[in-house]
Structure 1
Amino acid sequence: MSVIDFEPVHQQSTAEMIADRLREAIMRGNLAPGVQLGEADLATRFGVSRGPVREAMQRLLSEGLLYSIRNRGIFVIELTVDDVVDIYRARTAIEGGALALILDGRRDIAYTALGPSVTDMCAHAESGNAAGVSDADQAFHEALVDSAGSPRLVRAARTLLIETRMCLGALQTTYPDLREQAQEHVDLREAIGAGPKPRARTLLIEHMNDAIHRLRRRYPEQVDR
């Protein structure tokens, strides 16, 4: 096959770089839910042509982080409480699959990988830094899925984790003490490292279900409509 059949590498990497920055901005709330994105404006801000921006936006459209309205434009997703409940249900399936692989010969790998995020989470919880706890929470679950050694699970989890980070502000306020949130992750890590396998599975499911129950209690009028 001729080399000219391939897309130039610099264009592909530029589009991926832009996509990464847009994901980060959406996750952090710097691009607010419902805000409209324009190719020309983004191209100017990134200092690139519109082609890589268009490609980056198409990637995020396919991932569900952006949505398109015919004749109006492209917008950042807006998550309802029902959406967030569904996200946690999907994460339970994906992270449960990752945990099954971890418990089948990768426990030491996972225990080591989860260490830094647990340390960070506990430190931020002690100081009352809710944003730091959220960052460490996401890092924990990214490390959990990464430790399974499955690129497909990693891809499947990525968008769900970004969507979760978008809503973690609401979840934080449901914890009376951030140390409780950190302790859940300490216990889960210990169970993954050396505890009985059924306990690790149970703790993961309980952790996910707890997030759903907290949302239902905080926003009872917005769920199961």
Structure 2
Amino acid sequence: MALAELQPVNRDSTAAIIAEQLRAAIMNGSLPPGTQLGEVDLAAKFQVSRGPLREAMQRLVQEGLLRSERHRGLFVIDLEPADVFDIYTTRNAIEQAAATLIMRGGRAEQAAGALEEVLAEMRAAVRRGDPHAASDADSRFHEVLVAASGSRRLTRMARTLLTETGMCIAALQRTYEVPDAQVAEHTGIVDAIRGGRESLLLKLIDSHMEDGIRRLLPGYSLHGPGPEPSEPPSSAGAADAPARPARPRTRRRSAARKPAG
């Protein structure tokens, strides 16, 4: 076969496209924690055979976003308090490292401009009372912040947390009694970057993560001991021991219902 006869192919397989849509639905709360995924209904919804659907769902099992229960099927995980605490501790470290690179690498103006665009989307979503869009903008704000550091490794680590972070942000969305408070927190971060105030920026990021923990896990602090896992982590991997995603609850040992930003 001559090279001229080769035809372009779809970059994403059917399974990859399905996995991405399911991942987004889990992140924004359309598929809440604990939801059982039925093959028949989903195959009809996506208008595909069960083969690529099963492949897509297996990817999410391997990522730890779905858990498999024998004789029962697949369920969206529930984040436990220890998972939420771990996510925020890790995010705090990643985002502070990214902020340091931004401020010391001459990237502040470019980063502030990119973040302003996302902040405008968040502000518009809050004003029209669209919590899903506000959550999406919140997640994207932090993704853009880390990407602006120029560190591929920090960006890669942040992306592995993206869906779990989105679940937390979706829950956190319901804890803002004054919606503008969400916008104000992120505006402060952008202002610190634009003003070249590295020390303030690091404090604001830490405070932002601390606020998320206090809202989702009342009684806990990022600077104190976190909740104990209900079960020891398995060495078999996420597919065998998926974390249960948190719908933050109000009691100290549990995470609130429904998932910061």
Alignment TM-score, normalising by the size of structure 1? 0.81
Report if the CA contact (8 A) 2:139-2:166 is conserved: yes
**Residue in 1 aligned with 2:117?**
116
Query: Hey, what's the Cα distance between the residues in 1 that align with 2:211 and 2:32?
Result: 26
Partner of 1:178: 179
Tell me which of the two structures has the higher relative contact order, counting C-alpha pairs closer than 8 angstroms and 6 or more residues apart: 2
Compared CA separation, residues 132 and 73, structure 1 to 2 (3 A): closer
Which residue number corresponds to residue 89 of structure 1? 89
Report if the CA contact (8 A) 2:61-2:67 is conserved: yes
Equivalent residues of 2:119, 2:137 under 8 A apart = yes
Contact 1:121 1:136 in 2 (8 A): yes
What RMSD, in angstroms, separates the aligned Cα atoms of the two structures? 2.8
DSSP 3-state at the match of 1:31: coil
Evaluate the alpha carbon distance shift between residue 53 and residue 151 of structure 1 in structure 2; reply closer, same or farther with a 3 A threshold: farther
Identical residues among aligned pairs (%): 50
Corresponding residue for residue 25 of structure 1: 25
| 1:208 aligned partner, one-letter code | M
Structure 1's unaligned 5+ residue stretches are 1-8
The letter for the 1-side match of 2:253 is Q
TM-score (normalised: structure 2):
0.71
SS in 1 for 2:78: coil
**Do residues 219 (structure 1) and 220 (structure 2) align?**
no
- Preserved contact between residue 19 and residue 60 of structure 2 (Cα < 8 Å): yes
Match of residue 165 from structure 1 = 166
Q: Which protein is richer in helix relative to its size?
A: 1
| TM-aligned CA deviation for residue 184 of structure 1 | 0.9
Do 1:11 and 1:52's aligned partners in 2 also have CA atoms closer than 8 Å? no
Q: How many residues align?
A: 217
Do the aligned partners of 1:66 and 1:77 also contact (CA within 8 Å) in 2? yes
1:75 counterpart SS class? strand
- Aligned-residue offset at 1:212: 0.7
Question: What is residue 204 of structure 1 aligned with on the other side?
Answer: 205
Aligned counterparts of 1:205 and 1:116: Cα–Cα separation in 2? 23
Give the unaligned 5+ runs of structure 2. 1-8, 219-248, 256-261
Shift of the alpha carbon at 1:124?
3.6
SS of alignment partner, residue 79 of structure 2: coil
The amino acid of 2:114's aligned partner reads A
Most deviating of 144-153 and 59-68: 144-153
